[in-house]
Structure 1
Amino acid sequence: MTPALERAWRWTRRLAPWVLAALVLGLVAQQARAVDWPAVGQALRQMPPWRLAAAAGLAVLSYAVYAGFDLVGRHLTRHRLSVPRTLGTAAISYAFNLNFGALVGGLAMRLRLYTRWGVQAPTVAKVIALSMTTNWLGYLWVSGAVLLASPPRLPGDWAPGDAVLRAIGALMVALALAYVALCAASRQRTLRWRTHALALPDGRQAVVQALMGGVSWGLMGAIVWVLFAGQADYPTVLGALLMAAVAGVITHVPAGLGVLEAVFVATLSGQVNATEVLAAVLAYRAAYYLLPLALALPAYALSEVAARRRSPQH
């Protein structure tokens, strides 16, 4: 690559996330101005309690699966923290991650909790890397399957067409399969890129990672689908959620505030009234973001107290 092309590529990498973020945030602002917020509140109040309870139950199950990602890291790094404490640490960190961002929850909170229980920082970094790999491995094959089987109906101005979406889906599934194949075939149990190193599981463990990651995303989609009460089919709801997840990562907005709602409204506008869409998504926020955070805050405080009592200095 020539120096001119290298410079152009560097500038493209720097500018592309900001351009995408501006597009997504512009969509958020456009949707917010057109919303009848009193009607959204009315739709929320009319939502049956059993539906909210079902969403909360699925959220608990989804958190349990996500917390299980850290058991993969526990197995591969062989750290000695107990299974219940590993699961608790992962669940608390995930609630903080969703509400306050990856740096706070996914990294800082996990590092704080694990090291308080005596796990060394380099080991914690490996656990975090394996958890992230499990999550995005599941995202790759689930998103790819959705794009292949049922491409979402995007607004006409920025819809690339079913053929393009299916091609992207095939690429995503291929990347997920390539990871599993790499883990199965590699004799070196470490994947290195520049100064970074990732512990590789064997083929069977990689399949477990893919299944766990896929189930996690599938349950998240099921929560929103239950709240829509049959107004939209499951693949469409799941596809909207998967797109919203990437949009949230691109914009770096804590909890994807406004981004999640805008993507759902844009994706489902032809099937469901915007008022009903926003009511369902806000109920999803309550079940998957706010309720777990309300539980994670006292759980974190209790964990700190227990760790202090365990410390020899106390």
Structure 2
Amino acid sequence: MSATGGLAHQAWRWFRRVAPWALAVLVLTLVAQQARTVDWSAVRTALQELSMARLVLAVAMAVVGHGVYAGFDLVGRHLTGHGLSVPRTLGTAAISYVFNLNFGALVGGFAMRLRLYTRRGLKASVVAKVIAHSMVTNWLGYLWVAGAVLLWSPPQLPGDWALSDAVLRGLGAAMVVLAGVYVALCGVSRERTLRWRDHELPLPGGRLALAQAATGGSSWMLMGGIVWLLFEGRIDYPVVLGALLMAAVAGVITHVPAGLGVLEAVFVAALSGQLASAEVLAVVLAYRAIYYLLPLAIALPAYAWTEAVARQPAGARA
């Protein structure tokens, strides 16, 4: 390697280490700025004015959304051929998803899944494949949904984040194409296994890849639908969905559990030009209560029950 190439390689490695932290600082600074400007009494008033009928409907949509996400693990079940029943797979995935939302991916997406599945007799290597396919399903859906939003209704990014519509539409097209390439490769590839070093991951066929894209996208659109419903149609659905998708990436970048403060700050920054900040924040707080905290109130005792059952002798469990 030439001296120039070596310097470029070192610069790239440095950039990869520093860039996530720089973005995290930027997002957290936005969170702090928004928190200082919030009129919390106005937020409380806006919360009290939310329609009870819409809150109930939002809860019903949240139940469907959590069920759709739990279905991601059925892809891994099919491809690995593990013997855990469909109801137990869905239950394990549902509990893990709630912990993932509230405590972060390392706790919910990985540690909780690993513990619950291995308690049911699955090998760690099989669980890793199930997790991998769930992640692919989630982010495949994100790719094409976010890409479609950028193509159809490019968001107005706040402040220094602003980019032209042409740039955003180009990015959206690239995301949709990338999702399409994955589905197409799964459909035409004769190699049904992805290999990396000593690891192997079974790949879906074209139909299952399409199902992954549809299921993953449905999950994100349902989440956006809940927030849009709570806004009572005062903001267009693509705009609300775009804000949610931006908030999701910001949450991943900052590694803040549950995106606490990040979700709220991104929504306020993206939508306060259309509604009062207090109203935006009230809706996002209601969404957090419905989609994050209410399921947690159910998942905690459900997890405690699975632990209690797992500790019983095999004969007692039967």
TM-score by length of 1: 0.97
Structure 1 171/193 Cα, relative in aligned 2: closer, same or farther at 3 Å? farther
Pairing 1:117–2:102 present? no
1:156 to partner: Cα distance: 4.2
* Residue-by-residue CA offset, 1:125-152 (whole Å, 9 max, x unaligned): 0000000000000000000000000001
**Equivalent in the alignment of 1:224:** 227
Q: Deviations over 1:189-239 (max 9, x none)?
A: 122345654321011100000000000000000010011111101000000
CA drift of 1:273 comes to 0.8
* Cα distance, 1:92–1:310 mapped onto 2, change above 3 Å: farther
1:253 aligns with 2:256: yes
Q: What TM-score results when the alignment is normalised by the length of structure 2?
A: 0.96
Residue 54 of structure 2 aligns with which residue?
Answer: 51
> What RMSD in Å do the two structures reach over aligned CA positions?
1.4
Deviations 1:231-289 (A, max 9, x none): 10100000000000000000000000010011101111111110100000000000000
Amino acid of the structure 1 residue aligned with 2:254: T
Could you tell me which of 213, 217, 224 is aligned with 1:214?
217
In the other structure, the counterpart of 1:264 is 267
2:37 is aligned with 1:21: no
Distance 1:9 1:81 in 2: 44
Deviates more, 1:205-214 or 1:48-57: 48-57
Counterpart secondary structure, 2:233: coil
SS of match in other structure, 2:31: helix
- Which of 64, 67, 86 aligns to 2:67? It is 64
Q: Shift of the alpha carbon at 1:23?
A: 0.7
For each residue in 1:95-143, what CA deviation from the matched residue of structure 2 results, as whole angstroms up to 9, or x when unmatched? 0000000000000000000011111111000000000000000000000
Partner SS, residue 265 of structure 1 = helix
Match of 1:301 in 2: 304
What is the CA–CA distance in structure 2 between the aligned matches of 1:197 and 1:146, rounded to whole Å? 34
Aligned with residue 96 of structure 2, among 76, 93, 96: 93
Q: Does 1:180 align with 2:188?
A: no
Give percent identity, aligned residues only. 71
Change (3 A) 1:310 1:204: farther
- AA aligned opposite 1:152: P
* Rounded Cα–Cα distance in structure 1 between residues aligned with 2:196 and 2:274: 44
Identify if the C-alpha distance between structure 1 residues 129 and 35 changes in structure 2 by more than 3 Å, giving closer, same or farther.
Answer: same
Q: Distance in 1 between matches of 2:55 and 2:222?
A: 15
Task: Look up the match of 1:241.
Answer: 244
Which segment drifts farther, 36-45 or 193-202? 193-202
Task: Please state how far the C-alpha of 1:84 moved relative to its aligned partner.
Answer: 0.5
Unaligned runs of 5+ in 2: none
Paired AA for residue 116 in structure 1: R
Q: Distance in 2 between matches of 1:93 and 1:268?
A: 31
In the comparison of the two structures, how many residue pairs are matched? 314
Corresponding residue to 1:34 among 16, 33, 37: 37
Is 2:86 aligned against 1:79?
Answer: no
- 1:130–1:199: 8 Å Cα contact kept in structure 2? no
Cα distance between partner residues in 1 of 2:197 and 2:268: 41
Q: 1:147 aligns with which of 150, 168, 180?
A: 150
AA paired with 2:246?
Answer: M
CA distance in 1, matches of 2:22, 2:289: 30
Structure 1 residue runs without a partner (length 5+): none
1:201 is matched with 204
Distance in 2, Cα, partners of 1:260 & 1:196: 35
Q: Does 1:168 align with 2:171?
A: yes
Change (3 A) 1:312 1:118: farther
Which is worse superposed, 213-222 or 297-306?
A: 297-306
CA distance in 1, matches of 2:196, 2:263: 32
Residue 126 of structure 1 corresponds to 129
Matched, 1:290 2:268: no
Change (3 A) 1:112 1:188: same
- In structure 2, give the amino acid aligned to 1:80: G
Q: Deviations over 1:59-101 (max 9, x none)?
A: 0000000000001110110111111010000000000000000
Determine the C-alpha separation between the residues in 2 that align with 1:285 and 1:194: 41
